[in-house]
């Protein structure tokens, strides 16, 4: 019985286990695999990231020196970050919030 009481009191007086999104913003831990950003001054359009991307979220336009990245297809594995020979892809900590439209992010030289 005392064991029960402890549990009941903990449930009554304790904080809620969940974050009350969208009233509270969840905190992302440092080192979270979040969005990626391309540095087009370093990129030489070798298309390694496009070939390796497991979900096909990256499209490289070699002629136009332009990269399209789809945050809604991306599975945030950061294989592109590790594979880039010129270290042109910077990993960020923030995670893409939900949106109303499926918009791609465009990086241009």
> Which residues contact another protein (rule: CB under 8 A)?
3, 7, 17, 28-29, 31-34, 51-55, 75-79, 82-83, 93, 95
Q: How far is the CB of 87 from another protein (least distance, A)?
A: 15
Nearest CB to another protein, comparing residues 62 and 75:
75
- Spatial contact of 94 and 26, defined as CB atoms under 8 Å apart: no
Residue 25 C-beta: closest distance to another protein, Å: 15
* Helix, strand or coil, per DSSP, at residue 59: strand
Tokens linked to 73? 């297809």
106: CB partners within 8 A, 6+ apart = 66, 67, 68
Closer by beta carbon to another protein, 40 or else 52: 52
Q: Which is nearer to another protein, 27 or 63 (CB)?
A: 27
Q: Which residues pair with 68 in a beta bridge?
A: 59, 106
> Whole-number minimum distance, CB 53 to another protein, in Å?
8
What separation in angstroms does the CA of 44 have from each of 24, 58, 72, 75?
41, 15, 25, 24
- Of 14 and 41, nearer to another protein (C-beta) is 14
State the minimum distance, in angstroms, from the CB of residue 49 to another protein: 12
Round to whole Å and give the CA distance between 10 and 14.
5
């Amino acid at each position: 019985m005392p064991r029960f009481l402890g549990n009941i009191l903990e449930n009554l007086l304790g904080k809620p286990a969940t974050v009350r999104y969208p009233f509270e913003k969840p905190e992302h831990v440092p080192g979270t695999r979040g969005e990626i950003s391309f540095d087009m001054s370093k990129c030489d359009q070798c298309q390694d990231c496009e070939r390796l991307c497991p979900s096909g979220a990256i499209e490289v336009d070699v002629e136009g020196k332009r990269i399209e990245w789809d945050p809604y297809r991306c599975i945030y594995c950061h294989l592109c970050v590790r594979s880039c020979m010129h270290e042109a892809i910077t990993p960020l900590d923030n995670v893409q919030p939900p949106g109303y439209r499926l918009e791609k992010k465009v990086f241009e030289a």
